[in-house]
Chains A and B, each alone.
Chain A
Amino acid sequence: MEQLFALTPLIPVFPLLAFALIVLWANKNNKLSAGLAIGGIGLSTLTSWAVIAATVAAGHEVQIAGWSLPVPWLPTAASIFNTGFAVDGFTAAMLFMVPLVCTLIFIYAAEYMEGDPRYARFFAYVSLFAAGMLTLIVADNLLLLFIAWEIMGLCSYLLIGFWFEKDSAKKAGLKAFLTTRIGDVLLFAGMLFLYSRTGTLTFREIFKPEVLDELSRMLIWGLPASTVISLLVFGGAVGKSAQFPLHVWLPDAMEGPTPVSALIHAATMVSAGVYLVARMLPLFAIVPQGTLSWVAIIGSVTAFFGATISIAQNDIKRVLAYSTISQLGYMMIALGLGGFLAGVFHLLTHAFFKALLFLGSGSIIHAVHHGAEHADDHHTDPQDMMNMGGLYAKMKRTSWAYFAGTAALVGIFPFAGFWSKDEILAEAWVQWHEAGSIGLPFWAWLAGTLGAFLTALYMGRQIGLVFFGKPRSKAAEHAVEPGNRMTVPLLVLALFAAFIGFINVPFIANGWLHHFAGLVHEPAEVLHLEAVPFQISVALVSTAVALLGFFLGWGMYRNLKAGQQDPLARMLGPVFTVLKNKYYVDEFYKFVFIDTTVALANFSAKFDYDWVINPIVNFVGNTGRLLGELSGRIDTVVVDGMGVLGTARLFKWMGRELRLTQTGQAQNYLLVIALVSLSLIAMYLFGI
C-alpha cells in the first residue's frame, strides 16, 4: 500500500495533460475534447482513491504525520529551495471530495455546454482549473500552493468571462480577477515575510514547535511575526473564499456558465481559501487572541450578512451565490474558534450539496431556457425565479435531487449539512458556556443560528417559487427535464448530500473523520482537535429555526402569482430594498475606490497637461528654442565650418577604412594576421 503514495504527484498531472492535449491537438473535435477532460479528471479521481486507500490502510501514523516527497528545486546561494508533495489525513479527505465533484461537474457540463461555439475551449479551461486545485491540495509548501492558487485565479477570470460577448460577463471576469488579486498580494507578502524569517515555505518545517515559537517571539512592526504573517495569509483567503469585505466578486461570477459556478463555488476556488487557513492553522493559533479572533469575526459577519442578502435575490443562481458566501463564513467561524475539523467537515459536505444545488439550478435554467425557445419567447430571463413555478411536475429527478441538496443546506436531520453545521454551532456553544460570559463565541453562535434561520428562509422561498404553484411564464410551462448526462450527476451528488455527513457523526466511532483527518496539527492552547460532544440543545434549536424558516418561506411563496408583489418586500419595506441592493457595498466601493482612483487619475492628467508640468516643459522648451536659435547662428558660422563637418569627415573616413578591412581579399587578411602577430610579440618582448 505504501507504494501507492508515489502516485500522488500524478493526480494533478492528468487534467493538466488533458488541458495541453485539448489546446494543442484536440480543439477542433468537441466530443474528443470533452472525453479528454472527463478522462483526465476521472483518472485523477481513481488515483486519488488509491492514495486515500493507502492513507486509510497505513493507519494513524501516516494520517497524522503524513507522507511527503520533497523535490530539490531551486538552488539559491546558500540553500536549496525544496518543493514537493505531501499527503496526510486532511489532504486525503480533500482528495476524496475535489476530483469526484469535478468529475461529476465535467460530465454534467458535457451536456450543458452543447451547442456552445467554444465547447472545446471550455473543457480546456476547466481541466486546467481542476489541475490547479489538485496541485494546491497535494503541495507540501506555500510556493507551489501559491502557483496553483494563481493558476486558479487565471482560470476563474477566463471562465467567468467565458461568454465575453456579454459585457456583464467580461466585467464580472475582470472584477473577480482584480478583487481576488488584492488577497493574492497580501498572501504573497505573507509568504515573503515567512521565507525571510524562517528560510522555508514547507508546511512541515514551518510547523516545527521551535520554528513556531521563534515566529511568535520575533516582531514585525511591533507585532509578533506569526500574527502579521497569518493576518496576511488570511487576507489571501478572504479574497479567494469571498469573505466580507472582498466578497463582491462572487455573485457577479454567476455570469459564467453554470457548471463553472458549481466548480468555482463548491469544489475548487472558494474552498482553496478555507483550505489555506485550515492548513496554516498552527501559525494562526500560536499566539492566542491573535489572528484567530479576526477569522471568527469575519466569518460571523459574513455568515449572517450573506444570508440576509440572499433572501432578497430573484436570480436563482445569485441566491445560491450569497448562500455560498454565507456558508464559507460558517467555515471561517469554525476555524476561527479553533475547531479545525468542524471547518474542514463543513467544507467537505458543503462542496457536495452546493455543487448539487448549482448543477440543479443549471438544470432548471436549461429547462426554462428550452421552454422559452419552444414558446418562441426571447425576453424571459431564464434565471429569474419570478418566471418559474410549478416545475416539480415537469422535472421530477431534478426536483428530488434539489430537495436533497436543500435539506442538506438547511440542516435537516440526517442530511449532511445538519451534522457539519451543527458541529460548528456546538463548538461555539461549548466555548461560550466554558467562558461563562458573552464573548466572541456567543456572537458567533448567534450569527450562526440566525444565519441558519435565514438560510432556511431563502431556501424555502426558492423551493416555493421554483417548484410549486403555477408556472408564471410561458417558458416555465414548456420546461422539460434535461438528459441523463445532466441528471445522473445530480442524483449521485444527491446521495452524497444525504449521506456524506455520516463520516463524522458523533455517535458512530466518535466522529470517524476526527481520527482520520483531525489530528494533523500539533495541539495548541486555542486549537481544538478533539471532537466536541454532541449538544442536543444546539441541535434542537437549529433544527427548530431551520424548520420554521423553511416553512415560512415555502408558505409565503408557494402560491405567488405572476406580477404579484414579493411578500417579504411588503413585510420588510425599505429594509428589503437595502438587502436587494446588497447593502450597497458595490456602490460604496465604486464611490470610494473606483471613483476616487478615476478622479485622482483625472487630476494627475490635468496636473500634467494643463496646469503644471506641461507649462513648465513648454517654458523650458521655448527658452531652449530661443537659445537654440541663437546658438544655431553661432553653429553655422563657427562650429559647422570647422568642428562638425571635420568630425563627420573623420568618422566617414574611419568607417570606410574599417570596411576596407573586410575586403574579401585573402591577402589583406593575411596582412592583418601577420601585423597583429608581430604586435603581440612586440608586446611581450618589449613589455609595451
Chain B
Amino acid sequence: MDFQVPSINLAIIAPVIIVLGGAILAMIVDLFVDKDKKSWAAWVAIITLLVALVQTAGMWGFSGGTFIPEGGTPMIVVDNYATFLNITLILTGILAVLISVGFLQRNGLDKPEYYMLLLFSLGGMMLMGMANDLILVFLALEVLSIPLYILSGFAWPRPESEEAAMKYFILGAFSSAIFVFGIALAYGATGTTSLPGIFAAIDVNEVLGLTAVAFLLVGFAFKVAAVPFHMWTPDVYEGAPTTVTAFMSVGAKVAGFAAMIRVFVTALAHLSDVWVGAIIILATLTLIVGNLLAIVQTNIKRMLAYSSIAHAGFILIAVAASYNNPNGVSAALFYMFAYLFTNLGAFAVVIAVEHKQGEGVMLDDYKGLAARHPWLSLAMAFMMLSLAGVPPTGGFSAKFYVFRTALESELGWLTVLGVVMSVVSAFYYLRVVFLMYMYEGETEVVTKRALKLGLGIAVVATFVLGLFPGTWFDLASQATLTTFQAFAGG
C-alpha cells in the first residue's frame, strides 16, 4: 500500500502542543506526587497556559499551514484569525483555572484530572480555529467535547452532575453524528474535505451541497447553543460543577463559532445566500427565546445559561453580517473577546457566592450582598452592566460593533431586534444588581486569592475594552484581513 507522509511543520501547531503537552506532563507527574498534595496541578495548568499565551502572542502576524498531503492544501493553518482565537481561548483557560481552585478545594473535587481534562479540552478548542479541513474540524470537535462530558460529571456521585454529563453526552453524540453526516455529504458533493477544495468545487445548485450546509449548521448550532438546538444548555449548565459551566459557557462557544465562521465564510462562500437565511432565522430565535426565558429563571446558573444563549444570538448577528462584510467576522471576534472576560467575571462571583456546591445558586441568595461584600458586589454589578451592554464596558463596545456591522450589511430589522432584546436583557441582569443593593440578606461568601485575581483581571479587562475599544477592534480587524477579505468580498 502506498502511503505518503504529509509535510509536517510542528512549529505551526506549537500552541496546541504546549497545551496538550502540559496535560500529558501533568498525567505523568501525577504518578509520582503524594495524593494529599493536590493543588500542584493548578500550577502546572497555569504555567502551561502562560507559556502557551506567550508563544501564541509571538505568532501574531505569522501565517502558514502544515499537514499538507501530497498535492493538497494544509489541514491545519495558522493565521491571525487562529492566533486571535487561540489567545482568547488561552485567556479563557487561565481565568477558568483561577476561579476553579478554591471551589474545587472546598467541595472535595480537587483532583489533578480536572485540570488535565480542562487542558485537553482547551487543546481541542484551539484546533477548531486552526482546522482547514472538515475531518480535522470533526476531530477537534471531539477532542474538545469528550473532556467536557467528563468534566460535567466531575461532581459525581451528585445525581445532578451525572445527569448533566449523560445528557450532554447523548445530545452531543447525536449532533456529532449529524455533523459527520454533513461532512460526508460535503465530500459527496465536492470530492474533498479540505476547505479550499470545497470552496473551489462546490456547486450552488447541487442538492448534496445544500444538504451538507444544513447538517453542518446543525452541528455548529448545537455547540454554540443556538435556538432551537439549545435545549441541553440549561440542564447541563445547572447540573455541571459551576466552574465547568463557566469554562464551557465561553470556551465551547468560542470554539464552535471559530470553526463555524471559518467553514461558512471561507469554504461555503459561494453558498452565502443559502446559509445566511438560516443563520438569520437562528439568530432571531436565539435572541428571543434566550432572553425571554432568562427572565423567568430563579436560579442564577440557569439564568446565565439562557444569557449565554442570548449572547450566542448576538454573535450570530455578526456571523450573518459577515456574508458580505468582513467586518462581521471582526465584530464576532471582538464580541467573544469581550464576552470571555465579562462572563467569566460574572461566574467568578457566582462561584464565590456558591459557598457549598449546590447552595447559594438561587437569585434570592444575592439579596443584601452589597452591604457585606461591597467590592464583590461592585464587580458583579459591573459585570452585569457589561452583559447588558451599558457603557463604559466591554459588553457595550462589543454590541456596538456588532450592530454597526449588521447595519453595514443592511440587516436592519435584525439589528432592531438585537437592540430591543438587549433592553429586555437589562431586566434580568439589573435584577441581580437590584437584589444585591436593595435588599437585606445573609449569604456566606468564600473568596480565595486566585479567584480575586481572576475577577480583578476580568474587571480591568472589561473596563479597558469599554474605554479603549478601538485598539482591540483594530487587532480583531487585522485578524480577519488576510483570511476573509477575499472570500467575503466575493
Contact = CB atoms under 8 A, between A and B. Distances in A.
B139 interface: no
A673 B217 contact: no
A677 B219 CA distance: 10
Nearest to A670: B174
B231 interface: yes
A677 B178 contact: yes
Nearest to A75: B470
A669 B214 contact: no
B234 interface: yes
B22 to A, nearest CB: 33
Interface string B193-218: 00000000000000100110111011
Interface string A670-688: 1011001100110111000
B167 interface: yes
A666 interface: yes
Given A673-B171, A677-B218, A683-B278, A661 B231 contact: yes
Contacts of A75: 470
Nearest to A678: B214
Contact of B231 (A669, A681, A683, A685): A669
Contacts of B174: 670, 673
B232 A669 contact: yes
A669 B168 CA distance: 11
B448 to A, nearest CB: 23
Contacts of B231: 661-662, 668-669, 672
B278 A670 contact: no
A684 B178 contact: no
A676 B228 contact: yes
B159 to A, nearest CB: 12
Main secondary structure of the interface of B (DSSP, over half): helix
B232 A680 contact: no
Given A662-B234, A684-B274, A669 B215 contact: no
B171 A669 contact: yes
B170 interface: yes
A676 B285 CA distance: 13
Interface in B429-487: 470
A680 B218 contact: yes
Nearest to B213: A684
B207 A685 contact: yes
A664 interface: yes
B235 A684 contact: no
B214 A680 contact: yes
A239 to B, nearest CB: 30
A677 B282 CA distance: 12
B347 to A, nearest CB: 22
Q: Which of A661, A676, A685 has the most CB of B within 10 A?
A: A676
A668 B210 CA distance: 27
B222 interface: yes
B218 A684 contact: no
A76 B255 CA distance: 33
B166 interface: yes
A662 B167 CA distance: 13
A673 B210 contact: no
A661 B234 CA distance: 12
B377 interface: no
Given A677-B215, A677-B218, A680-B218, A685 B170 contact: no
A666 B218 contact: no
Interface string B167-190: 100110011001000000000000
Contact of B211 (A661, A664, A669, A684): A684
Contacts of B156: none
Contacts of B228: 672-673, 676
A376 B238 CA distance: 71
Contacts of A662: 231, 234
B229 interface: yes
Given A75-B470, A662-B231, A680 B167 contact: no
Contacts of B235: 664
Interface in A359-413: none
Nearest to B227: A676
Nearest to B234: A662
Q: Which of A664, A672, A680, A685 has the most CB of B within 10 A?
A: A680
B404 to A, nearest CB: 11
Contacts of B214: 677, 680-681, 683-684
A379 B171 CA distance: 85
B274 A666 contact: no
Nearest to B470: A75
Q: Which of B214, B234, B470 has the most CB of A within 10 A?
A: B214
A683 B175 CA distance: 19
A670 B229 contact: no
14 contacts: A664-B235, A668-B231, A669-B167, A673-B174, A676-B229, A677-B215, A680-B217, A681-B211, A681-B214, A683-B278, A684-B213, A684-B214, A685-B210, A685-B211
- Shortest Cβ-Cβ A-B pairs, 9 listed: A684-B210, A669-B231, A680-B214, A681-B214, A666-B167, A677-B218, A666-B170, A676-B228, A670-B174
Interface of B: 166-167, 170-171, 174-175, 178, 207, 210-211, 213-215, 217-218, 222, 228-229, 231-232, 234-235, 274, 278, 470
Given A673-B218, A677-B218, A684-B274, 4 more contacts: A662-B234, A664-B235, A673-B175, A677-B178
